[in-house]
Every structure is written in C-alpha cells, then in structure tokens.
Amino acid sequence: MAQLEVLETEVDERLESLIEAAKRQVAELERDRTQLDRRIDTTLRRLRAWETAHRTLGRGSASSLVARVPHTKREAALLFLAEHPHEELRLVEIRRALIERGWMTDAQAHALEVAITGMAARGEIARLRKGVYSLQAQGAHPQE
C-alpha cells in the first residue's frame, strides 16, 4: 500500500510540473502572438498608406493631383508626399505647399504637425529625423 501512495505522489508531482511547463509555454506563445499582431497591424497601416499614394500617383500628372481637394490633413500630406516619393521633405516645406494649394491655412499648422506626427508613428510615412519626412519606407531610404 505504501508503494502505491509513493507512486501516486510521484505522478501528482510530475503532472503539476507538466501543467506549469504548459502554462509557461502558453504565456510565451501569447506574448509572441501579441508582438506578431502589432507587427501585422503596423505593416497593414503602411500598406494602406502606400496603396493610397500609389493610387494617387496613378490618377495622372501632378497637375491633376493639384486639382483634387483632400478632405483631411492626412490625405493632403499623402497627396503631396506622393508627388515626391523619394525626397526628404521638411514639415515646413509640406506646410508651405499645402497652404499654396489652398488645402489649409497657416492657422492650421499645428493640426498638420499632429497629423504628420501620427502618420509617422503609425508607419504610414517615414520620419527620417526631427521635422523631416518621406513617403518612402524607412528601410528603403538611402542613408546619408
């Protein structure tokens, strides 16, 4: 009878070890899934932004882009950056161009800065350094 109790205790301890190991593995896999979900979300946001820019470029020449009036600061910035996909543009240059086109007023400069900062944070555009942006992917931009 004592031998049976010893075996039961041993089985119980091993099962507890298996359960703890499985719980650790599930927690690790959930962390991996969370990180992958974040990477997928970031890549999807970039993809949508680049597809928007690509469709915009496909609509015709730069003069046809100027004729289109964007509804948001984000859309206005994407339209302008799409015209200069490989250039490094300062926020002040973007703002000046949008004002010249009548897409915003000088009083809306802060709203544009907020929109640009958010776009860069979401990966829709590349922030190359403080106040300098590009439509190009960060990894694909030539280094200075």
CA nearest to 119, candidates 11, 57, 24, 46: 46
pLDDT of 40: 85
CB half-sphere exposure, 60, CA atoms < 13 A = 6
Cα separation of 32 and 39, whole Å? 11
pLDDT of 30: 93
Q: Is 141 exposed, middle or buried (0-12, 13-18, 19+ CB in 10 A)?
A: middle
pLDDT of 49: 77
Whole-prediction pTM: 0.52
Per-residue pLDDT of the chain (144 residues; tens, 9 = 90+): 788 888 999 999 999 999 999 999 999 999 999 998 888 888 877 887 777 777 766 654 444 444 566 778 988 899 889 888 889 999 999 999 999 888 888 888 899 999 999 999 988 899 999 999 998 754 444 433
Q: Cα 67 to chain center, whole Å?
A: 28
